[in-house]
């Protein structure tokens, strides 16, 4: 065989292989063109034919087109007869071509016309979406499709669900399908099947399962079935209440983590130097603004910018803290009232400086994608990912600070000065430098707290004022200068706030917590974990 003959055979083989792909591409394009032409017609019958055509030929753009139809975001251009996705129907807004993905700007609103549906077509689209969802290869899509059908189980949907249940391989999807079938069967079932359906729904926390049981209990004439449905509802409510308590605890721990981060720096400075630092909230605010600035410098790397902001916020707040200690506070040791007034004045200066640089308006810090979303435990319990990261971050900061104070020479000197300043000086410890570095350390931790707070609230000049009182409460309740006391106190107060809020309200809950701390300090003036040493005893 010659080289030329061999090359010709290879070319022929390649053309034969590509022929089906070309035919498939041509077929898909033809289906799309026919469907688009029918959708742009005025008659609802033609639109129904277009929807059925897309579904029967399993066109890859069918899910997108059906979703846009249901959301009233599918338009066509009168000039080029092409379908477009328009999320904001106004001049100057973008219109995205369904076929090519190209984007154009809407110059005249009258050039585009919305493709509308009537109730019959909407029902048809929902049915097709359900079928496509149940046949999807992705498990999460099938699960979402089943859950979307729970609230609208009619005879057609029930038949479709039974067929899909027989073919489903995933246990998780089959469980939800079983709930859906029970919801669909319950209204018209005989006594035996109704009891089976009630037993199935009793093990579910799906809201639609509870609604189905409630409606059945109100409608049935059978006392035994009514009693069974009410018992199932009571069991579901008890389980839902349990998971509601877990959610409250989780929210309380996340709030407590914020309080710990806000108070732990104050615990160091207040415990070592006895300085009532009213500018501590503004040091938190500086950390939050540092996060904002870093994001502005790295707009295309939001996920990394938060990581970069942590050491930057620590350095900025630490340097400002050292400047405050060296410039003002070192002249006022032993005069707590004067330090309180001086640091209050500094807090006003810092607030005004921020207003001058950034304006009085609040700034928004974007949450990274890896911190967004929910962790769904079950239908009634979902944990916010950002709160989980803040709890973990709080523990990391706490143990890092504990390591510094327990395992470094600075930590040894800090503990010596906090327990007995005169003896530490006699042993050669330069207490003035220890004071400066300790104040810088506590201020730096406050800046790190600002990074965490920037993910929960807007960044503004008054951000620190919202947490200064809470910080002092945490420090006093836990025991001045005791890190473990600060951790326990912060988490406890956070949980207490969230437990009280549902029946007392946010403001009254804070007042009740404050009253509790006042009464507690009357009994234990040195807090949960009192500091040891001669200075503490004096």
**353-362, 422-431, 455-464: the lowest-pLDDT one:** 422-431
Residue 204 within a domain: no
| Number of structural domains in the chain | 2
Largest Cα–Cα separation, the chain? 106
Query: Region 196-216: what's the mean pLDDT?
Result: 88
Residue 90 within a domain: yes
Distance, in Å, from the CA atom of 99 to the CA atom of 111, rounded to the nearest integer, reads 18
Beta strand pairing status for 374-378 and 381-384?
antiparallel
Q: What is the pLDDT of residues 431-486, one digit of tens each?
A: 778 888 888 888 999 999 999 888 888 898 988 887 888 888 888 888 776 788 88
Task: Write down the H helix ranges in 408-482.
Answer: 409-419, 421-426, 431-453, 468-478
Residue 168 within a domain: no
Cα–Cα nearest to 368, from 444, 282, 306, 319: 306
Q: What is the pLDDT of residues 370-411, one digit of tens each?
A: 888 888 888 888 888 888 999 999 999 999 988 888 888 877
Does an H or E element contain 50, and which? helix 44-56
Report pTM.
Answer: 0.75
Query: Region 159-176: what's the mean pLDDT?
Result: 86
Beta strand pairing status for 94-97 and 83-85?
antiparallel
Domain match, 466 and 320 both: yes
Place of tokens 């669909």: 184
Distance, in Å, from the CA atom of 154 to the CA atom of 177, rounded to the nearest integer, reads 14
Distance, in Å, from the CA atom of 132 to the CA atom of 114, rounded to the nearest integer, reads 24
The sign of the CA dihedral 261, 262, 267, 272 is positive
> Residue 15's CB: how many other CB atoms inside 10 A?
10
Residue 103 within a domain: yes
pLDDT of 69 above 70: yes
**Strand intervals (E) in 86-242:** 94-97, 103-105, 112-114
Q: Which of 80, 101, 119 is the last residue of a domain?
A: 119
Residue 507 within a domain: no
Residue 380 within a domain: no
Q: Which of 6-10, 247-251, 403-407, 534-538 has the highest mean pLDDT?
A: 247-251
How much is the pLDDT for 29? 77
Q: Which of 66, 90, 119 is the last residue of a domain?
A: 119
Higher pLDDT, 11 or 487: 487
Residue 128 within a domain: no
SS3 117: coil
Token pair recorded at residue 336: 């707590």
Residue 264 within a domain: yes
Q: What is the pLDDT of residues 93-115, one digit of tens each?
A: 888 888 888 888 888 888 888 88
Confidence label for 156 from pLDDT (cuts 50, 70 and 90): confident
Cα–Cα nearest to 205, from 378, 23, 401, 3: 378
Q: Which of 48-57, 120-129, 247-256, 266-275 has the highest mean pLDDT?
A: 247-256
Is 513 in contact with 462 (CB distance < 8 Å)? Answer: no
Confidence label for 20 from pLDDT (cuts 50, 70 and 90): very low
How much is the pLDDT for 271? 65
Helices and strands in the chain, H and E counts? 21, 7
Distance, in Å, from the CA atom of 129 to the CA atom of 70, rounded to the nearest integer, reads 10
pLDDT of 535 above 90: no
Q: Which of 77, 92, 119 is the last residue of a domain?
A: 119
How much is the pLDDT for 2? 56
Q: What is the pLDDT of residues 253-307, one digit of tens each?
A: 998 998 898 888 888 877 667 778 888 889 999 999 999 999 999 888 888 999 9
Is 68 in contact with 107 (CB distance < 8 Å)? Answer: no
Is 186 in contact with 219 (CB distance < 8 Å)? Answer: no
How much is the pLDDT for 303? 84
Q: Which domain holds residue 463?
A: 254-372+411-491
pLDDT of 71 above 90: no
Is 257 in contact with 490 (CB distance < 8 Å)? Answer: yes
Query: Region 350-364: what's the mean pLDDT?
Result: 90
pLDDT of 8 above 50: no
Distance, in Å, from the CA atom of 295 to the CA atom of 536, rounded to the nearest integer, reads 44
**DSSP of 150-172:** GGG--HHHHHHHHHHHHH---HH
CA angle centred on 354, ends 350 and 356, rounded to 5°: 115
Confidence label for 355 from pLDDT (cuts 50, 70 and 90): very high
Which residues sit opposite 97 in a β-bridge? 84
Token pair recorded at residue 190: 């005989």
Confidence label for 499 from pLDDT (cuts 50, 70 and 90): confident
Higher pLDDT, 254 or 335: 254
Residue 4: CB partners within 8 Å, gap ≥ 6?
Answer: none
Cα–Cα nearest to 103, from 120, 123, 78, 82: 82
Confidence label for 531 from pLDDT (cuts 50, 70 and 90): low
Residue 185: CB partners within 8 Å, gap ≥ 6?
Answer: 158, 193, 197
How much is the pLDDT for 46? 83
The overall average pLDDT reported for the chain is 82
Distance, in Å, from the CA atom of 203 to the CA atom of 239, rounded to the nearest integer, reads 10
Query: Region 117-130: what's the mean pLDDT?
Result: 80
How much is the pLDDT for 136? 78
Half-sphere CA count of 97, side-chain side, radius 13 A: 10
């Amino acid at each position: 065989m010659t080289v030329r003959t061999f090359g010709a055979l290879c070319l022929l083989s390649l053309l034969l292989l590509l022929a089906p792909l070309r035919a498939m591409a041509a077929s898909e394009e033809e289906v799309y063109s026919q469907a688009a032409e029918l959708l742009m017609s005025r008659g609802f019958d033609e639109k129904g034919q277009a929807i059925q055509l897309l579904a029967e030929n399993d066109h890859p753009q069918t899910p997108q087109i059906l979703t846009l139809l249901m959301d009233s975001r599918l338009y066509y251009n009168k000039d080029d007869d092409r379908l477009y996705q328009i999320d904001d129907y106004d001049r100057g807004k973008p219109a995205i071509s369904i076929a090519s993905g190209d984007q154009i700007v809407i110059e005249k609103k009258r050039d585009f016309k919305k493709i509308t549906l009537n109730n019959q077509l909407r029902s048809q689209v929902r049915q097709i979406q359900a079928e496509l969802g149940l046949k999807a290869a992705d498990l999460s899509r099938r699960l979402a499709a089943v859950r979307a059908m729970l609230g609208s189980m009619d005879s057609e949907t029930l038949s479709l669900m039974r067929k899909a249940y027989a073919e489903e391989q995933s246990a998780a999807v089959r469980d939800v399908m079983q709930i859906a079938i029970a919801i669909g069967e319950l209204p018209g079932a005989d006594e035996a099947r109704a009891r089976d359906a009630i037993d199935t729904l009793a093990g579910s926390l799906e809201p639609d399962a509870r609604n189905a049981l409630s409606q059945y209990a109100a409608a049935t004439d059978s006392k035994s079935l009514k009693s069974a449905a009410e018992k199932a509802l009571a069991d579901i409510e008890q389980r839902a209440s349990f998971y509601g308590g877990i959610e409250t605890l989780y929210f309380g721990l996340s709030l407590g983590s914020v309080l710990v981060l806000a108070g732990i720096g104050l615990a160091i400075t207040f415990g070592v130097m006895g300085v009532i630092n009213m500018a501590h909230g503004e040091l938190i605010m500086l950390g939050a603004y540092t996060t904002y600035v870093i994001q502005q410098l790295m707009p295309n790397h939001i996920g990394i910018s938060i990581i970069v902001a942590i050491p930057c916020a620590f350095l900025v707040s630490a340097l400002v803290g050292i400047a405050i200690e060296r410039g003002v506070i070192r002249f006022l040791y032993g005069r707590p009232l004067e330090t309180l007034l001086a640091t209050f004045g500094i807090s006003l200066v810092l607030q005004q400086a921020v207003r001058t640089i950034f304006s009085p308006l609040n700034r928004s810090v974007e949450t990274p994608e890896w911190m967004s979303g929910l962790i769904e435990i079950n239908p009634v319990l979902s944990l916010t990912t950002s709160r989980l990261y803040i709890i973990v971050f709080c523990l990391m900061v706490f143990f890092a600070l504990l390591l510094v104070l327990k395992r470094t020479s600075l930590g040894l000197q800090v503990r010596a000065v906090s327990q007995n300043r005169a003896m530490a000086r006699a042993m050669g410890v330069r207490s003035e430098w220890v004071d400066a570095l300790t104040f810088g350390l506590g201020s730096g931790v406050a800046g790190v707290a600002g990074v965490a707070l920037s993910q929960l609230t807007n960044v503004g000049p008054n951000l620190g004022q919202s947490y200064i009182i809470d910080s002092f409460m945490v420090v006093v309740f836990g025991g001045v200068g005791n890190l473990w006391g600060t951790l326990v106190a912060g988490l406890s107060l956070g949980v207490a706030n969230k437990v009280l809020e549902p029946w007392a309200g946010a403001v009254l809950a804070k007042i009740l917590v404050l009253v509790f701390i006042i009464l507690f300090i009357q009994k234990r003036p040195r807090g949960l974990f009192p500091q040891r040493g001669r200075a503490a005893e004096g």
